[in-house]
Amino acid sequence: MYGAEPDPGLTATVEKGKKDKGKVKGARFEIERKFLVADDRWRGQGDGVYTRQGYLSVDPDRTVRVRLIGKKGFLTVKGRSEGPVRPEFEYAIPGKQARYMLDHLCLRPQIEKVRYRIEFDGMAWEVDEFLGDNAGLVLAEVELDSPDRKVRCPEWVGPEVTGDHRYSNAWLSQHPWKTWDKGG
């Protein structure tokens, strides 16, 4: 949903959360499942775009992200995840402002990746090939319209990591994949 402004008339029901019960104007709820990528069979199925992102807050209750995709900037605020669901507010901002925030305001280190968009079984999959301190990690995610929606995964998709906070970009920015003990 890059660059989309929340519909001011949109109302979503918040079912979980102590203070959030009821209706929230302008809310969008991201419903996303995330997977490790098992092998390279996904390569060549979609075009990639370089993405850089940093965080003004990595608090799990209120993540604030600045993202630069090519020359386009985005400011995103996300609430705490409840399984595959979390509130999300995303706004397009000028690329120069995003770059300034990334260079001067965001926490270090930051996330660099190439994001590929691949169509499979009528769904848009995003494959993130991480660079820098997270090089070697490749994740696939798919956004859904309902947490109960069945997903048929491409053959190159590996184990599901939805709900494993270690695979969130905010966590990876502060705990790079290269530092993990991958021996078991």
pLDDT along the chain (184 residues), means of 10: 37 40 60 95 94 96 95 94 86 97 96 97 96 97 88 95 93 94 69
* Token code pair at residue 53: 């992102």
Collect contacts of 102-108 with beta carbons under 8 A, ≥24 apart. Answer: 102/52, 102/53, 102/54, 102/66, 102/68, 105/54, 105/56, 105/66, 106/54, 106/55, 106/56, 106/66, 107/54, 107/55, 107/56, 107/58, 107/173, 107/174, 108/54
Q: Look at residue 27 in the predicted model and tell me its pLDDT.
A: 61
As a whole number of angstroms, the distance between CA 24 and CA 28 comes to 9
The type of residue at 53 is: Q
Nearest Cα neighbor of 120 from 147, 156, 83 is 156
Q: Are 28 and 89 in contact (CB under 8 A)?
A: yes
* Token code pair at residue 132: 């820098």
Q: Look at residue 3 in the predicted model and tell me its pLDDT.
A: 37
Q: Look at residue 146 in the predicted model and tell me its pLDDT.
A: 82
Q: Look at residue 129 in the predicted model and tell me its pLDDT.
A: 98
Q: Is 55 known to be catalytic?
A: yes
Specify the 3-state DSSP secondary structure of 16. coil
* H or E element that contains 18: none
Residues 6 or more apart whose Cβ sits within 8 Å of residue 82: 16
DSSP calls for 40-99 = GGGTTSS-EEEEEEEEEE--TTEEEEEEEETTEEEEEEEE--BTTEEEEEEEEE-HHHHH
Q: Look at residue 4 in the predicted model and tell me its pLDDT.
A: 38
Domain boundary assignment for the chain: 11-179
Q: Which of 2, 50, 55, 100 is catalytic?
A: 55
The architecture of the domain spanning 11-179 is Beta Barrel (2.40)
Q: Look at residue 15 in the predicted model and tell me its pLDDT.
A: 40
As a whole number of angstroms, the distance between CA 25 and CA 30 comes to 15
Q: Look at residue 97 in the predicted model and tell me its pLDDT.
A: 98
